[in-house]
Amino acid sequence: MTYTNFTLETDADGFALLTWDMPGKSMNVFTMEVMDEIDAIVDQVVADAAVKGVVFASGKAAFSGGADLTMLKAMFSMIESERASDPEGATKRLFDAAGRMSWLWRKIETCGKPWVAAINGTCMGGATELAMACHARVASNAKSVKIALPEVKVGIFPGAGGTQRMPRLINTQDALQIMTTGQDLTPSRAKALGLINEVVEPDQLIPAAKALLKAGVDPVAPWDKKGFKAPGGTIWSPQGVQLFSAANAILRRETNMNYPGAHTILKCVYEGLQVPFDTALRIEQRYFTAILQTTEAYSMIRSLFVSMQELGKGARRPANIAPTKFTKVGIIGAGFMGAGIAYVTAKAGIPVVLIDRDQAAADKGKAHSEELVKAAIAKGRSTQEQGAQLLSLITATPDYGQLSDADLVIEAVFEDRGIKKVVTEAVEAVLPAGSIYASNTSTLPISGLAENSKRPDQFVGVHFFSPVDRMGLVEVILGEKTGEKAIAVALDYAAAIKKTPIVVNDTRGFYVNRCVFRYIDEAYDMLAEGIPAIMIENAAKFAGMPVGPLSLNDEVAIDLSYKIMKASINDLGEASVKKHHMALIDKMVNELGRLGRKNQKGFYDYPPKPAKKSLWPGLKDLYPQKKPEDVDFAELKQRLLVTIALEAARTVEEGIVTDPREADVGSILGFGFAPYTGGTLSYIDGMGVKTFVALCETLAGKYGEHFAPTPLLKDMAAKGDTFYKRFDPYAAKKAA
């Protein structure tokens, strides 16, 4: 029998090699067709007496990335389309769909013949659950091998037997930590835990798997045998009671209970370990069905899985422009940002010319890459040879002439229009006619900077976030005259350096920084109201933000806030900045010299390590302080999220952001907007625009007009619209 996605070859010993190699795909993923074929293959193997065991392997560089986008989108489309008309029937159909993979893996596990998973490269989600359903597992020791159950990161949990097999294979505490964090495991770590039987050289993967079969692999899972006991002991043992008490507390501390999927992992393990295995799978299936219907799961999967992949694959790229293969990229400005951009470019295998005013400054920029390479080698993430190759791609120089054959030049100098003008003219004097010029400005409008260019159609903004080597977002900003080629090249570059791009139109602060500074501005208002700084910071964390607004301001630098305020006043007038905001930051910077982390004192104090930072005690002396019991903590959380989401809505109304996917993904990757919401616009859609507008009106009545809902929001509320309906990113495809 032949299959589209698999080949099955049986050797003289009766061991069948099942190779998964999906045509036209760079990585194997689970689709309905793949699962149908696995189902048929299990039947074929069971029926064939000549087959004594099966090795499940991949024909690609990775084992599998898990579920396919189309399958997940179809599942959520079913929830959306059927829930209103037939809620009970929709839930039943979702329950059956949610259990398909789980019971298919159970079919493998109980088929009576031993299966061994041969894991190479990435093994994620449902693929890890499949591997655990096999009777033994062998992994390659290649650095590319990563084994994980990362579902919690997109709002769900391992619902194809993951919550039941992992705590029966390894210690319960380790299993809970792995699943609730979604962490990657190396082959050696997986073996030490007991998840993997053997770790071998890449070329020995299949022979080692067959050797295991030859030595004898028990085709009955341990939990299907009488008297089985989980490695972590029983739930009601002293050890088990202590574990789950601590696990609940730790989860609450780490997530503030904003992630239903994470909490449900504990429920599944706790309940599942007390019952027979098939009953445990049914419990997991019920919980998985319930989680799939939560707003958090829907929003997180849409933004952090579907939209991120679509944007990463060039959803906004002009289709009529040929792809760019980069042979050289120039970076002007070897400071922290420019040096970081040079590093990620070289890491992508692209030659880089890193230019600064003199050789010493340029060399200092390259030294940043040298430090990052040393750190990567020390952590085992790179080798000496790989590090040397990366550094060889960076040429540090003050010579602009070396840009004469660059495909793209990125300016990353100070936020000063005069300096940027000089740089633009110097670069264009040597840059090839067809090459693209980009500015990494963080706030200055691109259209204004492009006035210094002789070819504004080839001028584009490419805004990176700090630190460049760790932040996954790139904001591509279109000036009034930016052409399609410039857009395409910027997006090709983002893809080459493995960053997720969003495309926005030109405005002061663009999209991300406009939202960030609204977050910080709200903290200034709260301080002026006398709300204790610790309550502001804690409210932000309880609301789901990774850091509080005062901590974030320290990171971006308080004197930068001062410069931005001064620039706004100069360009837009005194009314563009609240007087008490300017007074606070002027005092912090010019009177107290508190500039942020960069000089070890800002809203926080930064003592020498290993001591941790702490809020500056002098904050409480700046304004009369309210008693904590007089502050509505829940409302603080609302204010911090609403002010950001409202600013995001304004950017849509102004035509700055035109695709809701980019608003959502940009807000999460750019500054960590409460990921459980799915992003700024999903936060609004999730609660309902009508509810959001009412909340804005309440807050505006208490705290000022900056909370007033916009005309667009009022119109959407009246019509029962959502952002993903009004600004449907797939409308063009549907029309075609």
CA distance 416 to 394: 26
CA distance 537 to 553: 12
Token pair listed for 333: 């400005």
Return the sign of the alpha-carbon dihedral for residues 216, 220, 221, 226: negative
CA-CA distances (angstroms) from residue 591 to 348, 367, 578? 45, 35, 19
CB-based burial, 373-389: b 16+ in 10 Å, e otherwise: beebbeeeebeeeebee
273 within 8 A of 167, measured Cβ to Cβ: yes
φ, ψ of residue 440 to 5 degrees: the values are -95, 25
CA distance 344 to 352: 10
CA distance 537 to 592: 21
Active site residues: 463
Token pair listed for 410: 């990125």
21 within 8 A of 60, measured Cβ to Cβ: yes
- State the amino acid at position 245 in one-letter form: S
3-state SS assignment for residue 64: strand
CB-based burial, 334-366: b 16+ in 10 Å, e otherwise: beebbbbbbbbbbbbebbbbbbbeeeebbebbb
Q: Indicate the burial class of 393 (C-beta count within 10 angstroms; 0-12, 13-18, 19 or more).
A: buried
List alpha helices for 216-259, DSSP H: 238-255
Token pair listed for 193: 């835990």
CA distance 451 to 456: 7
For 212, other C-beta atoms within 10 Å of its C-beta total: 22
For 618, other C-beta atoms within 10 Å of its C-beta total: 13
487 within 8 A of 513, measured Cβ to Cβ: no
* Beta strands in 257-376, from DSSP E residues, in sequence order: 329-332, 352-355
Token pair listed for 195: 């998840």
For 112, other C-beta atoms within 10 Å of its C-beta total: 8
CA distance 341 to 331: 8
Q: Indicate the burial class of 545 (C-beta count within 10 angstroms; 0-12, 13-18, 19 or more).
A: buried
Report the relative pairing of strands 198-200 and 136-140 from DSSP bridges.
Answer: parallel
CA distance 172 to 277: 16
User: Going by C-beta distance under 8 Å and a sequence separation of 6 or more, which residues neighbour residue 692?
Assistant: 642, 645, 684, 709, 713, 717
Token pair listed for 125: 């989600």
Task: Estimate to the nearest angstrom the gap between the alpha carbon of 440 and the chain centroid.
Answer: 22
Angle at which helices 680-687 and 689-703 cross, to 10° = 110
For 203, other C-beta atoms within 10 Å of its C-beta total: 9
Q: Residue 9: left (phi > 0), alpha (psi -120 to 50), or beta?
A: beta
CA 725-68-721 angle, 5° bins = 10
Q: Indicate the helix (H) or strand (E) that contains 504.
A: strand 500-505
Task: Estimate to the nearest angstrom the gap between the alpha carbon of 297 and the chain centroid.
Answer: 15
